[in-house]
Structure 1
Amino acid sequence: MENKFLVGLLFILSFLVSCQEKKAGNIDIQPSKNSLKPDQDINIMLKKQLEYGKPSFDNPYQYSEKDLDVTVPVLSQILTDNGYKPISNDEFNTKIKQIFNRIIDPKSAGSFLYVNFLDQCERSSNYAPNDAENNGIFIIKNLNFITDLYPIPYIIDYQKLYNEAAQKEDISSKTYKDANGNEVKKYLWKDISNLKEQRKKNIQTLAARNMYLFNDSRAQYKWLVINDQYFMERLVKNFGYTEDSELLKWVIEKTEFDKNNPSDYGKLFWTKECNGNMKLHADTFKLLQKLYIPNDSSENRFILDHIKDYFEYLGNKEISQTENLTPVERIKIMSNLAYFVEQYKYDPKFNEDNKMMGRLRFFLGDKDREILKENNYFGLPKFREWWGNADYDEYFVTQCEYEGTCGPDYQPVNYTEWRKQHPKK
């Protein structure tokens, strides 16, 4: 009897915990009925947006700062209704610098900063709603949140709140003339079959991003990595935000080296900042060391293989020149990658011998080696020792891999014989 009671109690508790977790990740994203009231500025802008319909390639309506400006109070209220707690200006400014590497000037007159996800160094604002050619967010100063530019029908049930504007849309034409005088089909907002679902998704995304980044909500983090993957990946790969180890782990484990897009893998390790400096991600190396374990059956067992492939891509100056790296930056990245992999050659728990330091020796010419010395081997403690030990590995990979002379008729001499011919100095 007692055992049945305990089993029943545990079932109830697990059910309640499950419900709480589900509720935390999927909060009922709807503004309260009394929180949003009709506003004249929104009404005027809404009529313009309804007149031209949903944004499309042929749509002549040009979104502007005013389209964003009128929605800011609405977005702020929606965030409040859904549990977002604005942080102080100082905290917000610090977070924005840490995450997006942008500095908010409290003395500047502007109310917004635009963060371009396609070109993080582009500072001019783009007020077109996000699409394949434009993807970015606005940082709302003083109210301390981030948002996309949302057309009003994407965040408000306008047919209930703005009945007059909705009635006018009901009788509006379904075509308009483009700049050349051609009649083009118009996509009216009222005809979008899943508009309610898209609106809910937009509001959920708005709330989740802000609650994760500025309220440290782990429940909203879990929602974002399922439903907003592009945004979450860009935090790491575009902006070099590696301080959240759970996010970094998620990005690492879903990123493999792709020979058709090799630079994408490199974004795990470094970013080029807008001042021209290269930033190496120490957090990535630290986390990879935890993820790469002996006899691992998960996909993490391929970590060193992916690094080797990317390393060799960088080693080929001709194909990797588009990375826009200086000689010092390129050698620094390659040295850190080689150093990371080489450690497992000396760890008895692993059966690894990728000969990475030997590969580095192969790719670095005399001028490159001088750069290594001038930069004191980039402060890597055992680098000089491991570099000196890798002369045979350089010979081996040169013969068998990069020059391809190994085969049935020729095999390189073993280490003992080679060392007799090339004694250490």
Structure 2
Amino acid sequence: MNKKIEVLIFLFLISNTFSCQKIEVMENKQTYAKNKQEIFNKSNILMVLEKQLKDGYREEPIDLNDIKALFEIENSLLQSNGYVEPTKEEFEKKINLIFKKEINSSNNFICFDRNKHCYDFNQNTWVNSDEFYIFFSLKNRFITDILWLPEILDYQKEYPKLYKNEAYIENSDVRLWKDIDFLPQQRRFNQQLLISRNKYLFNDDKSQFPWLINNDEYFMENLVTTFGYTEDKKLLKWAFEKQGFTYQIYPPDDILQKFGKFLWTKFCNGEVKIHQNSLNLIKDLSNPSVNQEDYILFVAEYINYLTLEEKITGLTFEQKARIIATLLEFGEQYKYDKAYGFNQMFLGKFIFYQDFDKLYKKEFEKNNYYNLPNLKHWYLLAEKEKDMFVNDMTLSDVPQPRDYLYRATYYTHH
């Protein structure tokens, strides 16, 4: 019996020894693979950096090798500054929510023009320095601008030999990176921008918001006005109030176009999304007791803007009709609020002055008034009313939103 036990113990020890050796071999292979990858990455960075230093300050467009090296540096920078890499599912969900992009690429990154978000970058082409692209690393899951390596990497410190050799570069036709006085400050800014954007967007770190709206205004505003991201209420309010919308009779088209960017967005697939969050914000910011009614008046003006056929908005008639119907219901609620003096400003004006041939009404009926809770009921009530400006000889044009306020005020005091 003792011998059997001894044999079993011996076999167990032999088995355990081989298992440990197997684990150790696997760990060594993983360490080797990781080290090999790191060596490759460093070699790639070194090669790209050397080329960019020889080319001079922003002299050559950026190609695929430049982008790969940039991603390696930025991934390391993010990891060392507390960025939590989201899961693949979380990352793709956020990109779809914020930028309205479906990830269906087998490449390591996707890229598109931040001003033309339906245009995707072809990875086989060059990127010109005067164009503005947004890059997404699908491998390490972060967002970045296009940069040359010296603009993000302190190469003087990290690669002193290359820095030393830069002094001997014989190319009198270009400015060398070492001679750019503002490079250290710009590099620090680029590093902070990378960290703050990614923590804010993908780690939900709201502490980055103040720095971003003060140092990255264009990008932050574009999240709302170009990409239609209105889910972040604090960002939406900041972007909206930043426009300084102040009502005037016959507002210029460019002002109305800016206002419209907060009301709806047309996506790359042709779908139009109406931003209820923006309408909720307009309602929250409007206060008749202190004459803060400008934003609601802008809504009335924007309906007029959409109904004029000569205005080009990139919308089909069907899309216009749905937006107009939503805005009419939003505006008509104030007719039944005694604190406001809007009266027939919305549905009344629309019925009597903006939809003479009833084409919009037919479209509303065809779509069951888009299942908007009160629109059909309010529309039928407004149709039964008499135009409050009928036979009014004091108007030189069709009634404007302010005219409805003045007339309501006149009726109140007479």
Q: TM-score, normalised by structure 2?
A: 0.77
| Structure 1 SS opposite 2:283 | helix
The DSSP-based 3-state class of the residue aligned with 2:61 is coil
Unmatched 5+ stretches in structure 1: 1-34, 177-185, 407-413, 416-425
| Letter matched to residue 221 of structure 2 | E
What RMSD, in angstroms, separates the aligned Cα atoms of the two structures?
2.9
Is 1:146 aligned with 2:147? no
SS at match of 2:389: helix
**In terms of Rg, which structure is larger?**
2
Task: Mark the CA change 1:80 to 1:401 in structure 2 (over 3 Å): closer, same or farther.
Answer: farther
Within 2, Cα distance between the matches of 1:98 and 1:405?
A: 42
- Please point out which of 251, 259, 267 is paired with 1:265: 259
Q: Report the Cα distance in structure 2 between the residues aligned to 1:153 and 1:272, rounded to whole angstroms.
A: 38
- Does the 8 Å CA contact 1:96/1:103 hold for their aligned counterparts? yes
Match of 1:205 among 172, 182, 193: 193
Partner residue, 1:68: 67
Give the aligned partner of residue 166 of structure 1.
163
Aligned-residue offset at 1:150:
1.3
- Residue of structure 1 equivalent to 2:115: 118
Give distance in 2, aligned partners of 1:405 and 1:73. 62
Per the alignment, residue 86 of structure 1 pairs with 85
Matches within 5 A, 1:176-195: 176=173, 186-195=174-183
What's the CA shift for 1:247?
Answer: 0.9
SS in 2 for 1:109: coil
SS at match of 1:396: coil
1:149-168 deviations in Å (ceiling 9; x for gaps): 21001101112222232233
Residue 359 of structure 1 and its aligned partner are, at CA, apart by 2.7
Distance in 2 (alpha carbons) for counterparts of 1:334 and 1:109: 41
Q: Tell me whether 1:228 sits opposite 2:216 in the alignment.
A: yes
1:324 corresponds to: 314
Structure with the largest fraction of helix: 2
Which of 354, 364, 378 is matched with 1:363 structurally? 354
SS at the partner of 1:39? helix
Aligned counterparts of 1:103 and 1:405: Cα–Cα separation in 2: 46
- 1 CA distance for matches of 2:144 and 2:207? 19
**Residues 355, 393 of structure 1: 8 Å contact kept:** no
Could you tell me how far 1:290 is from its partner in structure 2? 2.1
Matched with 1:39 is 42
Aligned residues: 353
Say whether 1:341 aligns with 2:331.
yes
Q: 2:379 aligns with which of 377, 380, 387?
A: 387
For residues 37 and 259 of structure 1, what CA distance do their matches in structure 2 show? 57
Secondary structure of the 2:273 match is strand
Give how far 1:54 is off.
2.3
CA distance in 2, matches of 1:63, 1:355: 55
Q: Do the aligned residues in 2 keep the contact of 1:127 with 1:149 (CA within 8 Å)?
A: no
Aligned-partner Cα distance in 1 for 2:391–2:220: 40
Return 337-346 or 397-406, whichever deviates more: 397-406
Would you say the 8 A contact 1:36–1:74 is kept in 2? Answer: no
Query: Taking structure 1 as reference, are residues 382 and 397 closer, same or farther at Cα in structure 2, changes over 3 Å only?
Result: farther
Amino acid corresponding to residue 259 of structure 2 in structure 1: Y
* Distance of aligned partners of 1:124 and 1:342 in 2 relative to their CA distance in 1, 3 Å threshold: same
Deviation, structure 1 residue 334: 1.7
Residue identity matched to 1:285:
L
* Secondary structure of 2:76 counterpart: helix
TM-superposed deviation, 1:141: 0.9
**After alignment, is 146-155 or 255-264 more displaced?**
255-264
Q: Determine the structure 2 residue equivalent to 1:283.
A: 277
Q: Secondary structure, in 3 states, of the residue corresponding to 1:390?
A: helix
SS at match of 1:113: strand
Q: What secondary structure sits across from 2:289 in the alignment?
A: coil
- 1:155 maps to 152
Q: Determine if contact 1:112/1:138 at 8 Å carries over to the other structure.
A: yes
SS in 2 for 1:171: coil
Cα gap change, 1:38 to 1:87, in 2 (>3 Å): closer
How many Å separate the matches in 1 of 2:275 and 2:149?
A: 39
Cα deviation code 1:357-387 (max 9, x no counterpart): 1232222232222111111122222212322
Shift of 1:140: 0.8
Does the 8 Å CA contact 1:341/1:354 hold for their aligned counterparts? Answer: no
**Structure-2 change in CA distance of 1:397 and 1:152 (3 Å):** farther
